[in-house]
Every structure is written in structure tokens, then in C-alpha cells.
Chain A
């Protein structure tokens, strides 16, 4: 066995035994600090070769590395991965099958659906192998990058019916990006907390510019919940109760603005009225709710509903957006309540599974990111189900079922949450310090040559 004399030699020998590369710098950082403490203690005692002595005190690097290797292995998330892929495959089939003979709305081509599924699986794997801790080291970059992408998307992509559809997809990443932003503001006192809250403003403005009511509500709700968690963890270092003051003031301000909007503009009030009492405006804002409810009344437990001799065209004429936000209504009408319940229960299992795993995470950043993903999926699922049961207030895609591009995005987000669970054994709160060892070390020695 070669003799290890320097701290770096020892750490290299330990690191060689740890197979998971991501675990090496995290584990070795702690050993390095210990060796430095031991070396300084020996030096203070006046002993010769303190570094060599400190290394000798540590024990055999191979057996230490082997033990640490067993403890720090990635935790594969096979169950959640399989459930996500299964649900996405079912969603792809449903998108194709339910819209196969549409003539008014968009009939999905098989190649598009298969392409969406394959790209979704790639996004899932990309997210799965991504290091969330690394993202947490550059929160400002992640935040500004997403903001810039959404502004470019607003400016470049054409609007359809006054809505920037592609920017809607970018806005679904806002809760995750806000979690990273919040993480970057920790430990900076009142100023940090003020920055954390102000960081939500440009994102909210983008949601209003799209316009995307669901995205805005999701951002505000997720942001408030995450801010409460940050206060409970005393992330800003101003005390738990004091940390609640600014978020409470911001929430009160948002609520007051919403109430004022309901009274002054009339648009929000009309939307609420139409959602709760669609019969008051049956040919206008209440049309979608009334038609969805009519279709649901004639749907069966299994098999296609009976529109009274009506064709697919008449169904498409009745239910607006039956290929997108009302796709679940199409599912209920064309295949029955039972397939709908199966899909809804499968997604509920996935979301509850994600949220339960999220609670058990060691890393607070990981917990926030997983929570942001879980809340995004849960919010979309709840709003989509409510819309498709006749409460047409906030339109949202049903995760992994509605829309090819949306499925790709949802799978990428789920992959990100799974990467948190996968790397939990090496999750560390590093207070902004980069944990890394150089991949290549150069050893330069100078020799004096006597002439």
C-alpha cells in the first residue's frame, strides 16, 4: 500500500473508493476540514511533520472510502419513474384516441403524440440526472434566465386569441424558479426577505402579460407557502415570527388588490359569477360550464355517451376546447367515467407520493423544489378536474394527459423532483459555498540546479 503523506493524497485515496462522483466533493470536504484541524493541533503542540501525523491519525483511506461509498449511493426512484412513464404513455394514447376523428378541433397526429412522449421521457431523465444543489448555487442565474426566456417568448411567439400560449408553459416553471430565488436570499436579514418578495413581482407581471390567471394564482400560492416555510426555518436570520410580517403584508396587499379588481373591473366578478351560477349567462360566460354539465349527464360508466343521435361534430360544437382544457370531458364522454377515475387516481397517487417524499427530504432546498413541483402538479390537476366537472373558472392542463408540449414540461419538472430524492444522501446546506474538488490537479515542483 502506498504511503499517504499529504492531506490531498489521503483525500484522493478516499475519493477513489467512492463510486458516485457527485458524493465525493461533499464527503471529502468534511474530512479535509478534520485533517486541517488535526494538523493545526499537532503544529500547535510543536510536533514535527504535523500534516503527516494528521494523515496517520485518520486510519486506512481505502477502508474509510469503502465504508463511505456504501453509505453514499444514489437512491434510484424506480417506482416514481415507472408511474410517471406509465401515466404519460396512457396520456399519449388518450390524446391520440380521443381526438382521432375531430374535424373542428385539432386531431392529434400519431407522430406528434409519440414525439411528445419520447421528448417527455428525455426531459424526465434530464431532470432526474440534474443536480439541484448545483442549481441552488446559481439562483440568480436560474431566475434571470427564466425571466429572460419568458420575456423573449412574450415578444417572439405569436398570440392566439390574445394569449401568449408558449409563455404559459414557461410560467409553469415559475414556482420552481422562485424556490431557487428564495434559497439565494437566505441569511441576508430584512434586505434578503424584501428581495425574496420583490423577486416574485416580475414573474407575476409576466403572468399578467400572457395573460395566465392559473399561472398567477399558482405563483402567488406557492410563493406564499414557500415564504411561510422559509420563515419557519428562519432563513433570513431575523427570527421566526418577525419573518412572517413582510409576507403577511404582501399577502394582504395582493388580497386587497384582488378584491378591488372584483369590484372595479367587473371581469373577475363575471368569471366568478359564471363559474358558480352559469345559468345567469347561458350564452356567454356560462356556456362552457353548462355544456360540460350536459355532456356529463349523458355520459356512461364505460363506453361512449349518447348525445341523442349526435355525431362527433355536434360534441365538438358543444364543448369548447375539447382537445385541451376540456380533454377530460372528452374522455368521460367518449370512454366513460371509469377511465377518467383511473387516470385521476393514478395522478393523485403520483402527486401524493411526491409530496410525502418531499416532507422527508434532508435538504431544505430540495424540499422547496420538490414542493414547488408537487404544488404545480396538484394545482393543475385540481383546476383541470374542476373545469371538467363544470366549474369553469381557471383553465389548466391535466398533467401528463393534456397537450404534447405540456407533457414534456410536466415530465421535466417531475424528473427534477426525483433528482432531489435520488441525491438525498449527499444533500447539504452549504451557505453559498461551492463544494468541489478540482478534477485535474497540477503538481509543480521547482528545483534549484547547482552549476
Chain B
């Protein structure tokens, strides 16, 4: 079953920042890692990822530096800043609240939970 894109689009910054929480990555690695962690559910286009990363850099949530990837190839790595970690915590909390609310509605509402 293919996911509705509008369901994913709002959560992409959260997912990308969550990936960076564990360590610094470059763009291609992020797409592969996201695909692997989501069992091939999230297939992020590079054309979506890079404007998003540059936007996060603009806001100060991530910083970028040039590092060496496999075989000494230079790549642009992204690092989650302290400000980015704070923003990630807020986004995670908001997402959890949203997911719980959707779940409750889908199950019939708070009044009917457990009925």
C-alpha cells in the first residue's frame, strides 16, 4: 500500500533531525538510513531533502562541514546543534500528542475508549 504523501510531508524535518541525533550524516546516507529504518516505507527524494537541510541550517538547527566519506571522497556532513536538539524534542512531543489524538479519534474518541 502506497502512503499518502501529504501524511509524510509535515514530518520530514522531524525524521531528518531524528536521524542526525545519532550522529553526523551526509545527504545520501540520510536517504538510505531513512529507507532502512522505515522498512522501505519512507523513500525521500534528494530534491526534497537538500532544500530542507539548507533550511534547517539557516535556522541554526544543523551545521554542515566537509568530511571524507568512503575512499576519501569529500562529502558535506550535517551535525545537529544544541538548538536543533531542543527543536527536535519539541517536535517529537508535538508529534506524539498528534499521533495519540489521531489514534483516539480513529478508535472512536475518548468517551468510547475502553468501551
Contact = CB atoms under 8 A, between A and B. Distances in A.
Interface in A18-40: 27, 30-31, 33-35, 37-38
Interface stretch (B5-13, B15-23, B46-54): B46-54
Interface in A30-75: 30-31, 33-35, 37-38, 57-61, 63-64, 67-68, 71-72
30 contacts: A27-B54, A30-B27, A31-B46, A33-B26, A33-B28, A33-B73, A33-B76, A34-B28, A37-B28, A38-B28, A58-B45, A58-B46, A59-B46, A59-B47, A59-B48, A61-B47, A63-B47, A64-B50, A64-B51, A68-B51, A68-B54, A71-B51, A71-B54, A71-B55, A362-B57, A425-B58, A428-B66, A429-B65, A431-B74, A433-B66
A430 interface: yes
Interface of A: 27, 30-31, 33-35, 37-38, 57-61, 63-64, 67-68, 71-72, 362, 425, 428-431, 433
Interface of B: 26-28, 45-48, 50-51, 54-55, 57-58, 63-66, 73-76
Given A58-B45, A71-B58, 7 more contacts: A30-B50, A33-B73, A33-B74, A33-B75, A57-B46, A64-B51, A68-B51
Contacts of B76: 30, 33, 428
Contacts, number: 58
Contacts of A428: 64, 66, 76
A84 B47 CA distance: 41
Contacts of B75: 33
A61 B47 CA distance: 7
A425 B48 CA distance: 19
Contact of A34 (B46, B55, B63): B46
Nearest to A35: B46
Contacts of B54: 27, 68, 71-72
A57 B45 contact: yes
Contacts of B65: 429
Contacts of B55: 71
B72 to A, nearest CB: 12
A162 B86 CA distance: 61
A450 B114 CA distance: 82
A64 B47 contact: yes
Contacts of A362: 57, 63
